[in-house]
Structure 1
């Protein structure tokens, strides 16, 4: 027997022996049977390194955006597959109050500390300064006639920009006392406007503190007129934090008291206007009581336009994390979409989505605290999110209820 034949015979015997022992120690065969390595998932807000939301970032959408999360399967019906969260612009100090002009096909929002309103054009994505100074405006909206509504911190009033460019002051006082710092405003089909009046604008960063002796500036150490136009910074807090209704006649009624909802912030109606949602945020400057606790309340609205049967809608605890609400809107099916401020809890800032019964069904994660939201776009199927220094948007498979 030749040496080559002996080698072949020896190899066959080793193979038979190995088979009898229940193992085949062939490197090539073992490699073929090994499971292929799991490909890495797309980057998200919580991956390391985190997702790059700029236009230079890597693709992140593989049919479903990794930061659009279905907490309940029912959310899949209103989340839009193959639609990525996009950062449209960045460069603000604190973004708030996005509102969609259906006629103009643009989005307007507030950069409160910079005392300006910005505008994003739908046709080419261009962003420009829309109004400056804006009197440190916060919440914006549009009424059923397409007129812009704005809540101004500095002047402590709610205004309407008429179609001819003039300005109408809708509210600046109640029972002879100046408002605190109107925060958010929504229109009702009956021609009325509803707005909240917490104290958050009476600060150096977002408006002007009280004049000396006011609750925000009791010792007068702060010079409230510094950096302001002539006559600004002379007001003091005089009212509790409340929610008001401006009748078409101009009459202003108190509709939700501080005892019912302390420090009211965002507000919106259900699609049928039979329910009013009011956000209660944290304790504001000058508050002597405990202030809001970061939850949302819901009221029934009767034929007399008076909220009744108020109750807590949700406490906004998600996985043991307090996802503090701020801005709020409903879609056409009555689901409640609310911005989330979870502070340093990475992965919980953004948007939470709830059924009309108060069940959490979905979340949208952003890398920044989200202050306010609105639905817009020509089909009103795009969710715009004003988050800290930036503006984000994502398409959804539903439409926003109501204008603005």
Structure 2
């Protein structure tokens, strides 16, 4: 028999096909289904993933610009849990990663006049802007005072919650900046987190203590609750006026009247460590996320769930109750930011940690029923509706910005 190199072409081709068939069978028999595969199909496993892979779907999905386009009619990571969600998801609309390169993305807000999205990269002390016309991303405000939540009011003015300065500001149309709130009853706010506008001209915001850490703001002055031993220097790397604050207030939800009067509408006895918030489309209900224990807390802290309150004609909250504990398939999908669509459904960011396949967005009816999920390969911090028709959901997720078109619209600007 001739050596292989001298076999006739037809014989060599046959031998090669036989070899590949044998090799394929050997590989197939050696394939091990990863433990996190169950999370991709929406079912939980007692053995949750130890280390998250870089993709969610199977076959692996590449969100980068090098990745192949989505070839499915419906995106495989936009999941219908209840048929009610089918009317809200947009067929033939893929999840797109618009940009990556942040340290912790938060506070997306849509400018309907400028047709751009602004969001916070908190640890990098900057706000970023994504322009719809060409997809360009640029630094919008540097420094941003470690801003977290952003929104636009009914006059098109941007509102920002600043961790570093522990205040809420408004960027006026003439280019000036107005400090809206920095103190309550003569005491400094903790670190305003998220803010929403009301048609009556008021602004409602949450004030947990998460900005009292080096990564997202700065700690208390020595002796304060978030720096009791005084070993941390809050002045390092900061302007000279920063570093003298100490935590003075419990966590709370506030309403700032258009006249400038600040009122506490919910204390930490009702919502410990309040975070994201939004109104129902008719402004008769307020939804408030309650997250975990923050720096300097002397309370147990929130449990990663959300509460809903009735909003009275005198702007008081009543009948507070748990909206949902955000346990899905035995996995805690902790919310952070939340937005309502025009039908009152709640679109909530999801932090499931290493439970791959559960971070992203969860969608709920006004009655608290889960109807849909959007899976992202990163923990999602906050969401907003935007685009010219306000039918595109933008998702600020860890280091990246994602977007997907929907078949509904956001209920409010910003």
SS in 2 for 1:287: coil
What is the CA–CA distance in structure 1 between the aligned matches of 2:62 and 2:165, rounded to whole Å?
A: 39
Quick check: 2:57–2:76 contact (8 Å CA) kept in 1?
no
Give the conservation status (yes or no) of the 8 Å contact 2:56–2:376. no
The gaps in structure 2 that reach 5 residues or longer are 1-39, 41-53
After TM superposition, give the deviation of residue 202 of structure 1 in Å: 0.5
C-alpha separation in 2, matches of 1:232 and 1:62:
52
Q: Structure 1 108/274 Cα, relative in aligned 2: closer, same or farther at 3 Å?
A: same
Of 276, 280, 303 in structure 1, the residue corresponding to residue 313 of structure 2 is 303
Q: Deviations over 1:50-105 (max 9, x none)?
A: 31111211232411000000000110100000000000000001000000000000
- From 129, 136, 145, give the equivalent of 1:126: 136
Q: Following the alignment from structure 2 to structure 1, what is the Cα–Cα distance between the partners of residues 372 and 120?
A: 26
SS in 2 for 1:84: coil
Distance in 2 separating the partners of 1:256 and 1:288: 18
What is the Cα deviation at residue 268 of structure 1?
0.3
The TM-score normalised by the length of structure 1 is 0.89
1:46 aligns with 2:65: no
8 A contact 1:45–1:67 mirrored in 2? no
Matched, 1:165 2:167: no
2:366 is matched with: 356
Q: Which residue of 2 aligns with 1:333?
A: 343
Structure 2 equivalent of residue 183 of structure 1: 193
What's the offset of the Cα at 1:288?
Answer: 1.1
Q: Which residue is 1:104 aligned to?
A: 114
Could you say which residue in structure 1 is the equivalent of 2:381?
371
Q: Of the two, which has the highest radius of gyration?
A: 1
Give 1:70's aligned residue: 80
Aligned to 1:5: none
Map 1:246-257; keep pairs closer than 5 Å.
246-257=256-267
Asked whether the equivalents of residues 147 and 163 of structure 2 are also in contact (C-alpha less than 8 Å), the reply is yes
In structure 2, the residue matched to 1:228 is 238
Residue 93 (structure 2) aligns with: 83
Q: Distance in 2 between matches of 1:350 and 1:283?
A: 22
Equivalent residue for 2:203, pick from 180, 193, 196:
193
Distance (whole Å) between structure 1 residues aligned to residue 267 and residue 219 of structure 2: 23
User: 1:45: how far off?
Assistant: 4.1
Alpha-carbon contact 1:154-1:233 (below 8 Å) kept: no
1:252-263 equivalences under 5 Å are 252-263=262-273
Q: Structure 1 residues 201 and 81 mapped into 2: Cα distance closer, same or farther (>3 Å)?
A: same
The Cα RMSD (Å) is 1.4
Structure 1 residues 62 and 49: alpha-carbon distance in aligned structure 2, compared to 1, 3 A threshold? closer
> Structure 1 residue aligned with 2:326, among 307, 311, 316?
316
Using structure 2 for the length normalisation, give the TM-score: 0.86
| Aligned-partner Cα distance in 2 for 1:208–1:318 | 35
Aligned residues of 2:109 and 2:152 also touching (Cα < 8 A): yes
